[in-house]
Structure 1
Amino acid sequence: MVISGFKIPKDTQIMANFWAIDNDTNLWENPSEFRPERLLSEDLKTFKKPEYLIPFSYGKRSCPGEGLGVVEVFLYLSSLLQKYDIKANHKTDQKLEYEFHFSITAKHNPVFNITKRLN
């Protein structure tokens, strides 16, 4: 098979380069900046998922638990935010930078102050 001029021999294993997609300036404006609002609608009230946002992989090998994972994260995070105030430590002047490995991990450990809410 030939794809974009590259010959792919039979039985070749192909891995998608998700890092390249996540850091493509043709798809994302300033991809290295942490800007979660880029996934919200213009009025900042609704989540919008671009077709090139693929945290659960893509195609027939994509994660079958994506729906459950999204619901679980929402429930977990919303229950934490109901009970705790989470604020960045005022002494923290580090940016959220990442080093690419087989997975993405934080370059610096962000420091947060978590206090239980008094109701």
Structure 2
Amino acid sequence: MNLFRTSAAVLALTSGLMALPTQAEVVQQNTSGDPMYTADAPPAYSMVGDLLIARPLLIGATVVGAGLFVVSLPFSALGGNVGAAGKALVVDPGKEAFVRCLGCTTSGYQKD
């Protein structure tokens, strides 16, 4: 009987936890109703956290990445992946630090 109760409790908790992501999804509606204007509109606390925490860390990651890129340059030149190393270590953190809108989760500038 104890095995049955344990199995039932595990099944109930597992199915309850699996249903959480579907109920936690929040759909943001734009106020104009026009699908042309569906840009991110982050809340104020997200902007403050981004300004005080994320941006300084990303700028620091860009500076550290630039230093690591210079150190790894001979090795990446021998391997033939200088562009990929530069993009991963310098361009991507710099793009997130300086191009992304304040409080947004994705970069707003996509150059193809």
Query: What TM-score do the two structures reach when normalised by structure 2?
Result: 0.27
Hey, which of these two has a bigger chunk of strand by percent?
1
Which structure has more relative contact order (CA 8 Å, sep 6+)? It is: 2
Hey, which of these two has a bigger chunk of helix by percent?
2
Query: What TM-score do the two structures reach when normalised by structure 1?
Result: 0.26
